Structure 1
Amino acid sequence: MTWDILNIIGTIAFAISGAFIAREVNYDLLGGYVLGFTTAFGGGLVRNLLIEIPIELIWSQDYLFGIAFLGITIAFFMPDNWIGHLKKWVIFFDAIGLAAFAIQGADYAVSIQAPLIAVIVAAVMTGAGGGLIRDVFAGRKPMIFHSEIYALWAAFAGFMIGLDLMRGPYATLFLLIVIVIFRMISVHFKWNLPHKK
């Protein structure tokens, strides 16, 4: 049940985030669907390849594709005067997707008894992989490499779950909230890992 809820939250959040980015870079409707679906499902595809989970399992989530399609369509056709007010929410949607998918990816890796490093990689790639592919498709510098320690929060989720420090639905919800809060704080205060200039 917790896994299904995380899947739905992450899918909606990332699909909307991808559609907003498509509007920002002036892509057409097809571009909106490509970026939305890529953001929502790209990380899961990469994770499955890395930890040898059957790739075809992604295609069995037809209800999630329907949810993503609806979210992308609404976000893409939203009136322009609403977008101005909602742009700041793109980061919030992205933070929810990052947290939900990082936790889901880490749980997936733990369920197949993967080692700690694989759990952390699964969390990072599930949480941030779709956004990485989206940014490449949108011709943007990938957020994962420069934006307010983005992937570090996904790695934190993998670390906590991989060490079995977060177990059960309440602990999962707490971890999700913590990651979203710290992601938003890091954006607000412009926290970054060291850059070489």
Structure 2
Amino acid sequence: MKLLSTILSVLLLAVYAVADPTVTSKVFFDLKQGDKPLGRVVIGLYGDVAPKTVKNFYELSTSNDAAMGYINSTFHRIIPSFMVQGGDFTHGSGIGGKSIYGATFPDESFEVKHDKPGRLSMANRGKNTNGSQFFITTVPTPWLDGRHVVFGEVLEGMSVVFAMEKAATDPQDRPLVPIQIAACGALPDSGAAAPISDEL
């Protein structure tokens, strides 16, 4: 009986311990709220699962051009016990943004689920309307599966995301004090840290 119980426990663990996809590249965001540094968030990207989506996010994260990249853009929508959303570098309000492929591009893969905090997923206005806006979950959000493309996860700095989640917001879920990406860029696969921006 004990052996059977052990076997069942191992099988249950195997079912629930589904491995995350391989991280093929890493980027960082150094965040601030007003003049206050919040810290660094390191994001791992799943290039084997969603290569076009990852390429879009990676290029926007490594661009020094605020007109076509995330540098100096804000997180315009924060909903506690749900997610933090950013990536609208054209308007900063949630109505804008664009991809490296044009205004929008199609959904690529729904393989990875919104099954835990820290999932990086594309925001959209419906099927095949991905641009530059993205969100990071702060809880599992299974109702988004099959509707939004998960293409990465927070590797370091989830405490920063949880701090962002506590920001005071207006009735449209916009932070009263803007939360900005002060610096962003690529990190080597070895995990060696880029120097934190002097702006923080």
TM-score normalised per structure 1: 0.27
Greater RCO (Cα-Cα under 8 Å, separation 6 or more): 2
| Structure with the higher helix share, 1 or 2 | 1
Answer 1 or 2: which has greater strand percent: 2
User: Which of the pair has more CA radius of gyration?
Assistant: 2
